[in-house]
Chains A and B, each alone.
Chain A
Amino acid sequence: MNDIRKIERDVNMANTKISARSVDVFYGETHAIRNVSVDIADRTVTAFIGPSGCGKSTFLRCLNRMNDTIETCRVTGDIELDGRDINARSVDAVQLRAQVGMVFQKPNPFPKSIYDNVAYGPKIHGMARNKAELDEIVEKALRRGAIWDEVKDRLHAPGTGLSGGQQQRLCIARAVATEPEVLLMDEPCSALDPIATAQVEELIDELRQDYAVVIVTHSMQQAARVSQKTAFFHLGDLVEYDDTDRIFTNPRDQRTESYITGRIG
C-alpha cells in the first residue's frame, strides 16, 4: 500500500496546483496566521491538522477567498493557483470559487430539492444549455458523490430530509457539479457518525483521482487514512509539512511529535 502511494506521490509532486508564500491573516487586531508557505499538489489529498484554534480552517478559507466575506479579515502574501495570483485584482472571487470548491464542517444542503441542490452551481454559472444537459450534470455529480443510488428515486425530495452522512455526500456532489479543480473540505466528517465517516473517507480517496483535495481535520487517524501529504499547524504557524507517513512516523519538530502522541491538543 505504502509503495503504491509513493509512486503516485512522485508522479504528482511535479504538478503543484496551489502554491502559497508568506501568507498572513489578521482578524481585526488578531494575527491568526503567521507567515505560512505551502505547496499543494494536484491529484493528492493534503491534510491540515493541528489543535483547535490553530488557524488551519482560516488558512483553508484563504484558498478560495471565503475570508473575503468576513469584513474584519485581512490576508497578505501570495497564493497562486496554477501560477496565477488568486488575490490579484483581475481574478474574480466568483470564478475562483467555481474552480476551487468547498465542503463545510456541518452538512449545509439548501432548503431545496436534492436535484436543485446539485444543479445550483451549474445553473448560476450557466454551465448547462438545456434541461437534458443539466440532468446529465446532476447525475454525473451525484454518482461522483457516491450517493446516486440512494437518491435517484427521490431527486425532488428536499435535501434537508437526508441523513447527516447523505447530506454531506450531497454537499460534495454539489461542489463537484461545478467541475472544480480543487476541493477544500473543512472537517467534513466532524458532524457524522463512524459509518458515514467511513463512506465519506472512501469518497475522498476516490476524488483524489481527479482533484487536488485539501482536507482540514482534527482527527489524526483520518489524516493518516486519507491523505498523502500532511501539514501541521500550531498557534497560527505552519510547523511542519511533509509526506503523511513521515509526519506520523518520524516528525522533525518537537511540537508535531507532542501533538501526534497526544501531549498537546
Chain B
Amino acid sequence: MTGFAFLLLLMAAILGYMLNRYAAQSVRAGGGRFHSLTGYHGMFSALLVLVPVLTIILAWLVLQGPLIDRMVMGGLPQGALQGLDTGGRQLVLAEIKSIAGGRVFGTPEDWKLAAADRLVALRETSGWLLVVVVAVLGLSIIAFARSRVSAGFRARQGVERIVSGLMIFCSTVAVFTTVGIILSLTFETYRFFQAVPVSEFLFGTNWEPQIPIRADQIAAEGAFGWLPVILGTMVITVVALVVAIPIGLLSAIYLNEFAPGRVRSVVKPVLEILAGVPTVVYGFFAILVVAPAIRSFGATIDIDVAPNTALAAGGVMGIMLIPFISSFADDALSAVPQAMRDGSLGLGATRGEMMTTVLFPAALPGIVGGILLAVSRAIGETMIVVMAAGLMARMTINPLDSVTTVTVQIVTLLIGDTSFDNPKTLAAFALGMMLFLVTLVINIFALRIVRKYREAYD
C-alpha cells in the first residue's frame, strides 16, 4: 500500500508538470508573452505537489505504527494488562504482532487473536486512508497550480522560492539533530536524576548499575557514582595519548621536513589507510593480538596483568589516533609561512634546529588543537573499549588493571532489551549526557584554537 502511495505521488507530480507545461505552451501559442519559461510552470506544479504530499506520506509512515499499536493496546479487554510493567506490555504487543504476521506459537488466548485481527484491519484501513489522502491532496494541488498558469505568473520565482525553502530546511537538519541530541539526553537524564540524586551520580565512587530484577533478590541496591567510570576513561585516554602523541608528532615532523617527496607520497596514503580502519577492527585486533601479547610479556617479567588491561585498549586506541594527530600536525607545520623557514635557514640554522626552534613553536597552537580533538575522540571512542576494556568500575589508575569507560557502560547498559523506566537504562543516558558535554566543550575549544591559528597565518 505504501509503495502504491509513492507511485501515486510520482504520477501526480508528473501529471501536474505535464498539465502546467501544456497549459503554458498553449497560452504562448495564443500569443501571450511569458515571464517564465514553460518548463518552470511545469516544475512549479510538480514541486507544489511533491513537497507537501511527500511530507505527509513520510509523517504517516513514521506515526502510523505507534498510533495503531496504541489503539490496539487500548482496545484490549479490561484487565488483560493488569499487573504488567512496560516490558510485559511490550511482550504482549510483540506476540499480537507476530500473530498478525501469521506466526502463531502455541495457543494464544482469544483476546490476543482478536487484537491481532484488529491490528491487521487497522493497518489495512491506514493504508487505504493514506492512498485516498494522497490522491485527493495531489489532485487538488494540481488543480490549484493549473489555475495559476497565466502570462504574468512568475513561475520561476515560485519554483525558486520552493527550492530555497527546501535548501533552508536541509541546512537546519543539522541544528535539529543537535537539538534532538540535547533534548533527548536532557529528558532521560532528568528522569534518571529523579531516581538517583545528582550528588550521588557526580561524587559517588561506586558504580554498580545492576539493580535487583526481583524484589526478593539480595543483590546490591545499585550504585551510580560515575567517578570510577570517568577515571577509567581517563586512564585509557592517557595511555592512548602516550602512544599517539610522540609517534604522531615525530612522524609529522619527519614527513613535513625530512622526507623526500617520494617517501611522503607513499607514507601519507598508508597513514590514511590506518585512519580509515573501522574501530571494530581495532577492537578485535586488541583482543586477538595486543592483549595476549601484553599478558605474556607481563608473565615473562613476573608482573600480573589483567586479561583486559587498560594498556591493550589504550595502546590500540593510540595506534588509531596516530594518523589523526600526524595529519593535524603536518597541516599545522605546513601552514607556517615559508618566510619563517627562510629566515631560520638564512641565519644558519640546521633544518632540525629550524623545526624545533621555529616551525614547531609557531605551529604549536594548531598542533594543540589537533591533540585536543584527539582527546575528545579517545573519550568518545566506543568499539575498542567495548571489546577490549573491562566491565567492572574500579577506582584505580594502574593501567595494568582492568578499567571501564563511559562508553563501555553506555553500551553494556543499553545492549539487549531495554525499557525506559528503570534507572539502569536511564543511567546510560546520564553518562551519555556527560560524554556529550565533555566532548562538546573540548571540541568547541579545539576548533576555535585551530581556526584562530589558521587566521593568524592567512
Contact = CB atoms under 8 A, between A and B. Distances in A.
Given A71-B261, A124-B357, A110 B362 contact: yes
A64 B350 contact: no
Interface in B323-352: 337, 339-350
Given A66-B345, A69-B345, A108 B361 contact: no
Contact of A111 (B345, B350, B362): B362
Interface residues of A, number: 27
A110 B341 CA distance: 10
Contacts of A112: 361
Contact of A121 (B337, B347, B350): B347
B353 to A, nearest CB: 5
Contacts of A108: 337, 339-340, 342-343
Contacts of B348: 94-98, 121, 124-125, 178
Interface string A92-123: 00111110011110101111100000001100
A106 B345 contact: no
Q: In the complex, which range does the number of interface residues on chain B fall in?
A: 10 to 19
A175 B345 CA distance: 11
Nearest to B337: A108
Contact of B347 (A69, A106, A111, A174): A174
B258 to A, nearest CB: 12
A71 B337 CA distance: 17
A159 B175 CA distance: 43
Contacts of B343: 104, 108-110, 171, 174
B435 to A, nearest CB: 36
Contacts of A66: 342, 345-346
A104 B349 contact: no
A68 B306 CA distance: 54
Interface in A111-144: 111-112, 120-121, 124-125
B294 interface: no
B391 to A, nearest CB: 48
Contacts, number: 65
Contacts of A103: 346
B358 interface: yes
Interface string B43-82: 0000000000000000000000000000000000000000
Given A108-B340, A120-B357, A94 B346 contact: no
A7 to B, nearest CB: 33
B353 A110 contact: no
Interface string B357-399: 1100110000000000000000000000000000000000000
Given A112-B361, A124-B353, A124-B357, A106 B339 contact: yes
Contacts of B350: 94, 124
A61 to B, nearest CB: 9
A94 B340 CA distance: 16
Max chain A C-beta neighbours (<10 A), residue from B261, B346, B357, B358: B346
Contacts of B340: 108, 110-111
A174 B337 CA distance: 18
Contacts of A120: 344, 347, 349, 357
Nearest to A160: B456
B445 to A, nearest CB: 21
Contacts of A101: 346-347
Contacts of B337: 108
Max chain A C-beta neighbours (<10 A), residue from B261, B342, B362: B342
28 contacts: A66-B346, A69-B341, A69-B342, A69-B345, A71-B261, A94-B350, A95-B348, A96-B348, A97-B348, A98-B348, A101-B347, A102-B346, A102-B347, A103-B346, A104-B339, A106-B339, A108-B340, A108-B342, A110-B358, A110-B362, A111-B361, A111-B362, A124-B348, A171-B343, A174-B343, A175-B346, A175-B347, A178-B348
7 A-B pairs closest in CB distance: A98-B348, A108-B339, A102-B346, A97-B348, A108-B343, A121-B347, A124-B353
Interface of B: 261, 337, 339-350, 353, 357-358, 361-362
